[in-house]
Structure 1
Amino acid sequence: MAPSDPTAPAAAGFTIDRLWRRGLDRYPSTGSRYWYLAVAVFVTIILYYELYVAGGVAPLVLEHFKMSFIYYVNILVLANLVGAFGSLAAGLADRWGRANLVAYGLLVTGVLALITPLAPNKFVFGLFAVIGGVVEGMCLVATPALVRDFSPQIGRASAMGFWTLGPVVGSLVVSFVANRTLPHLDNSWSSQFYIVGVVGLVAFVIALFGLRELKPGLRDQVMVSAGDRALIEARADSAERTVDLDRPWGQMLRLDILAPALGISIFLLIYYTAVGFFTVYLTSNFGFTTSKANGINTWYWAINAISLVVVGALSDRLRVRKPFMVAGTVLAVVMTFIFMTRTTHPDTSSTTLIVIIALLSLGLATAYAPWMAAFTETIEKRNPALTATGLAIWGWILRIVVCLAFFVLPYVVSAVDKLVEAPAVLAQVKAAGANPPPALLAEVGKIKSAAADAPHQWQAWWWVCIVAEILFLGLMLPLVGRWSPKAAKADAEAHEREVARLTGAS
C-alpha cells in the first residue's frame, strides 16, 4: 500500500493529532478498506477475549473467592445492566465517531484485566467485571458501526460474519488458552487474566495507530456496492449538510428496528449461556475437569467461527438473508433439543457432546451473520446517518435481555450453587479420614441431592432457550430484504444501472 495513498493506514507525514483525529476524507481503496475492517475485527476479538476470560475459569474463581454461584451470576447481571446503558451512550458515535471509542476502550479493558488478579475479595472482582461491562456495551455498538461503514451492502453479510468472529473467536481463544495453559500453570485462574491483559494492551497499540474511520459525509450514505465509491465521494459534502440528525431515537424506535433486535436477543440466550456457564455446566453435570470442559468448548467456538464466515459469503452471493435465518433457526432448535436430552445422561462422552454442540453452533451462525447484515440494512433504510443509534438500541435490548436471563437462571438451576462447592467439600471429607464430622456429612448429602436435581433443572432452562429460538422466526420478519435470490439479483442490477446513469450524468 503506497504511502502516498491518502486513505492508507500508513500514510506519510504522521502527526500527534492522528492519535485522536481519525477521519478519512475519501472512501478508502480496496486494500485500505480491508485493512481497517481487519483491525476492527481484530480488536473486537480481543475485547471479547477480555470480557469472556472469567467464564473460562469460573469454577476456579468461585473456589478462590469462596463465591457462591448466585453471587457470580449477579455480577454478570449487573455487568450486563450497566453494559446496556453503555450501549445507549455509544449511540453518540453517530455524532462523535467510533474509532476513538474502540481504541481507548482497549486501554481501559487491558488495564482492568491486569489488575483483576490483585482483587482482594469478591466485591472488588465484581467491580472490575462491571466496569468492563460498560466498555463492552459501548464497543458492541462502535465496532459493528465501523464494519458497516467500510462494507457495501453487497458484501455486508461477509463483513458482519467476520465482525461476529469477535465474540466467537474471543470465546474460542478463552477456551483454547485455558485448555493449553492451565495444566502447566497450577490451574491458576489469575494466569488467564495476566495473559489477556498483555494481549489487550498490544491490541490497544495496534488500534491507536492503525484504526481510522469515515468522516460523516461519507458514512452517512448508503453504499450498495463498491462501484458506488465515486458517487458517494461526489455527494459527501451535500450529504453532510443535509443529513437529518433531529430526534435520532424517535427515528430509530420503530417496529422494524425493535422487533428484530428483541428477536435476536432472545435467540442468543443459549449463546450467552454458553459464554457464561458452559464450563460450569460441563464440570458440574458431566464431571469434566475445567481444562477438559474448555477443550469441548473450543470445538463449539471453532465451528461457530468458520460457519459465520462461510454463511456470510453464501448470503452475499445469493443476495438474500431471511432464508438463512430460517434454516439456521430450524437446525438450532433441533440441536438444542438433542443437547437438552443428554443433560440427564451424565455418562455422555465428550465426543458425543462435541458433535451435538458443533451442529448447534452451526445453526446459530447460519442465522446470525445474515441477521446482522439485514439489521444494518434496515437501519440504513431508515437513516444511514443514524447507524450507531440503531445499533445502540439493539445493544441496549440485547444487554437487558441477557441481564434478565442471568438473573432468572440461578433460580431455575438452583442446584448448581451447591454443586460448585462440591470439590472443596469433598476435599474436606478426604482430609477428615474415616470420621468426618456430621455437619460435613450433611453437606455431602446436600451435594448428592443437588446432583440429582441439577439435570432436570438444566432441562427446564434449555426449554426456555428452545422457545426463544422459535419466537425469533416471527420477530425477524420486519427486516428488509428479499426471500428470492432471483428478485434480489434483479434489484442489484437495477441499482447498478441507476448508478451508471447518475455517474454518467455528472
Structure 2
Amino acid sequence: MKPFYVRELSVYPVGSRRIWLLSVAVLASLVANFETTISTILPLLMKDLGMTLAVYGQIAAASVLIGGLSAGFGGILSDRWGRVAILVPTLTITAACNFLLATIETPTGLFWVRCLMLFIEGAGITITASLVRDFSPRLGRAQAFAFWTWGPVGAAFLASLIASTTLPLFGNHWQSQAIIMGIVSLVLCLVVIWQIAEPSAALRAQVMQAESAVSGAEKVDPGKVRELFRHPHLWAHVFGNTGWQVLYWTFTIFGVAILNEAFGLETAAANGVVALGIVLNALAVIAVGRLSDKFQLRKPFTAAGTLLTIVMLGYYATLIDSGASAGHVTVVYALMFLFMGIAYVPWMANFSEDAEDVESRLQGAALGIWGMVVRVMIVVLLVVSPLVVAASGWRTWLLVCLAGQVIFLASMAAFRGRWRVRREAAPKAAV
C-alpha cells in the first residue's frame, strides 16, 4: 500500500501540467538545500559553542561523507520504491531537525545533528534531480536541469534574506534562525506534499525524446545497478565531473575567503563579487540550456565552457599578489562563474541521456552514484585544501582546481553524443 502523499501518474503529463510538476520538483530542490543551510549563522554558532574553524571543518567533512553515502543509496532505492515515497519523508524530517539544531550546546551535539540532517538530505537532493529528469523529455532536458540548479542558489538567497531581516529582531541569536528555517521548510514541504506527483515506473523506463501523452504498464522490473558499472563512459562522466566540481565547491566554500585573503577585498565587497558571479551563472545556465536543447548538442557547449573556464582560472591565479584592482578581479571572477554555467548544464543533460541509453530504469541510481562520489571529493577538499593553502597559498590550490578542469575536459572524449548539428532542421525545444 502506497503512502497517502504518493500520486503516481499512469499517463505522461503534457503542456502546463508537466511544467507545473517540473516546477514542484525544482521547489523540492530548493527546500532540500535550504533546510540544511548553516553558513548564515556559522560565525555566531562557532562563537557560542567555542568552536574553531578547524573543528567545524572536521564536523562538515564527516557529515558530508555520510550525506554522500545517503545520496548513493537514496538514488538506488528511488528507482525501486518510487521518488516521492522517499523524497517527502526526507524533506519533512530534515526540516524538523532544525528545531533539534536550535537545542545544541556543544560541538559534539552539532556533529550528531548535522550528520543526521545530511544523511537524510543526501537522498532528497539526488531524488529531486531524478524527478527533473522524469518530467523533462530530451528536447527540454538541459533547460530543466538549468532550473534545477537554481535550487541551491535560491536556497542560499532565501537563507541570507531571512537572516539579514530577522537576526536583529532576535538579538543576533543563531537559534532563532534554526527555528525560522524549520518553520519555513515545513510550510514549503506542505506545498510539495500537496502538489507533487511522479510518473509510474513504466513511464520512467521510457526514453522520451519529445513531449507526448503516453501510458505504460503498472509494474516494471527496476533493473540491476551493476549494469551501470559495466560502462566506462558513465564512469568517465562521474569522475570527470567530480574533477570539475573541485573548483565549484572551492568557490562555494571558500570564495569569499579567497577574495579576502588573496586579493585584499573587504568581506562585504567580497560577498558582492560572489553575488554577481552567482547571478551571471544563473542567467548563463538558462541561456545555454535553451541553445543546447534547440540544437540537441551537449558536448560542444560543455567543452567550450570548460576551455574558457580553464583560461580564466589560470589568469585569475596569476592575479594573486599582483596588485590588481577590485574591479579587475570582479570581472574575472564573474566571467569564471558565467563560463562554468555554460559547461555544467549541458553536461548534466549529457550524463542523464547517456545513463538513460544504458538503462533508463536506473536514472536515480546513476545520479545517486555521481552524488556520492562528489560528496567524497568534498570531504577530501575540506581536509586537504586548508593544508595546501597553509603550506603554499591560494594560488597553488587554484592550480589544483585547474587540474580538475583539465581532467574533466579530457574525460569528454569518452562521452556519447554528437559534436555537430545534424543536417536536418533542429527540432523545436520544449521547456
TM-score (norm 1): 0.77
Q: Which runs of 5+ in 1 are unaligned?
A: 1-15, 415-452, 494-506
Is it true that 1:49 corresponds to 2:19 in the alignment? no
Q: Matches of residues 25-424 of structure 1 in structure 2 within 5 Å? A: 25-51=10-36, 53-90=37-74, 91-178=76-163, 188-226=173-211, 229-230=212-213, 232-233=214-215, 236-237=216-217, 245-284=222-261, 292-344=269-321, 348-349=325-326, 351-414=327-390
The one-letter amino acid of 2:309's match is A
Contact 2:241 2:408 in 1 (8 A): yes
CA distance in 2, matches of 1:206, 1:346: 50
CA distance in 1, matches of 2:100, 2:18: 35
CA distance in 2, matches of 1:99, 1:152: 19
Q: Which runs of 5+ in 2 are unaligned?
A: none
CA distance in 1, matches of 2:383, 2:240: 19
Shift in Å, 1:88: 1.7
Aligned to 1:427: none
Contact 2:30 2:152 in 1 (8 A): yes
**Residues 253 and 78 (structure 1), Cα distance of their counterparts in 2 relative to 1, 3 Å cut:** farther
Is it true that 1:483 corresponds to 2:412 in the alignment? no
Shift in Å, 1:191: 4.4
Shift in Å, 1:285: 5.0
Aligned to 1:450: none
Shift in Å, 1:334: 2.4
Deviations along 1:247-283, one digit per CA (max 9) or x if unpaired, are: 3223444211111111111201121122222244445
The one-letter amino acid of 1:268's match is Q
Shift in Å, 1:479: 2.3
Shift in Å, 1:77: 1.3
CA distance in 1, matches of 2:182, 2:275: 21
Deviations along 1:200-239, one digit per CA (max 9) or x if unpaired, are: 111110111111101111111101011xx24x42xx12xx
The one-letter amino acid of 2:364's match is A
Secondary structure of the residue aligned to 1:204 is helix
**Residues 261 and 410 (structure 1), Cα distance of their counterparts in 2 relative to 1, 3 Å cut:** same
Contact 1:58 1:280 in 2 (8 A): no
Is it true that 1:462 corresponds to 2:398 in the alignment? yes
Contact 2:29 2:152 in 1 (8 A): yes
The one-letter amino acid of 1:196's match is M
CA distance in 1, matches of 2:180, 2:315: 36
**Residues 102 and 244 (structure 1), Cα distance of their counterparts in 2 relative to 1, 3 Å cut:** closer
Moved more, 101-110 or 199-208: 101-110
Contact 1:168 1:304 in 2 (8 A): no
**Residues 262 and 140 (structure 1), Cα distance of their counterparts in 2 relative to 1, 3 Å cut:** farther
Contact 1:172 1:298 in 2 (8 A): no
Secondary structure of the residue aligned to 1:225 is coil
The one-letter amino acid of 1:278's match is G
CA distance in 2, matches of 1:189, 1:110: 16
Moved more, 323-332 or 54-63: 54-63
**Residues 383 and 488 (structure 1), Cα distance of their counterparts in 2 relative to 1, 3 Å cut:** farther
Aligned to 1:432: none
Secondary structure of the residue aligned to 1:477 is helix
Secondary structure of the residue aligned to 1:118 is coil
- How many residues are paired up? 427
TM-score (norm 2): 0.90
The one-letter amino acid of 1:360's match is M
CA distance in 1, matches of 2:328, 2:177: 28
Secondary structure of the residue aligned to 1:278 is helix
Alignment partner of 1:471 out of 399, 402, 407: 407
**Residues 152 and 407 (structure 1), Cα distance of their counterparts in 2 relative to 1, 3 Å cut:** same
| The structure with more radius of gyration | 1
CA distance in 1, matches of 2:167, 2:393: 30
**Residues 477 and 189 (structure 1), Cα distance of their counterparts in 2 relative to 1, 3 Å cut:** farther
CA distance in 2, matches of 1:341, 1:177: 37
Contact 2:303 2:412 in 1 (8 A): no
Moved more, 393-402 or 210-219: 393-402
Contact 2:228 2:234 in 1 (8 A): no
Shift in Å, 1:197: 2.4
Q: Which has the higher contact order (CA 8 A, sep 6+)?
A: 2
Deviations along 1:451-471, one digit per CA (max 9) or x if unpaired, are: xx7xx5111111110110111
**Residues 359 and 252 (structure 1), Cα distance of their counterparts in 2 relative to 1, 3 Å cut:** same
Contact 1:175 1:294 in 2 (8 A): no
Shift in Å, 1:320: 0.3
The one-letter amino acid of 1:34's match is I
Q: Matches of residues 486-505 of structure 1 in structure 2 within 5 Å? A: 486=422
Instruction: Name the % identity.
Output: 31
Secondary structure of the residue aligned to 1:155 is helix
**Residues 246 and 155 (structure 1), Cα distance of their counterparts in 2 relative to 1, 3 Å cut:** closer
Deviations along 1:449-498, one digit per CA (max 9) or x if unpaired, are: xxxx7xx51111111101101110111332221111235857x69xxxxx
The one-letter amino acid of 1:325's match is T
CA distance in 2, matches of 1:271, 1:369: 13
Secondary structure of the residue aligned to 1:476 is helix
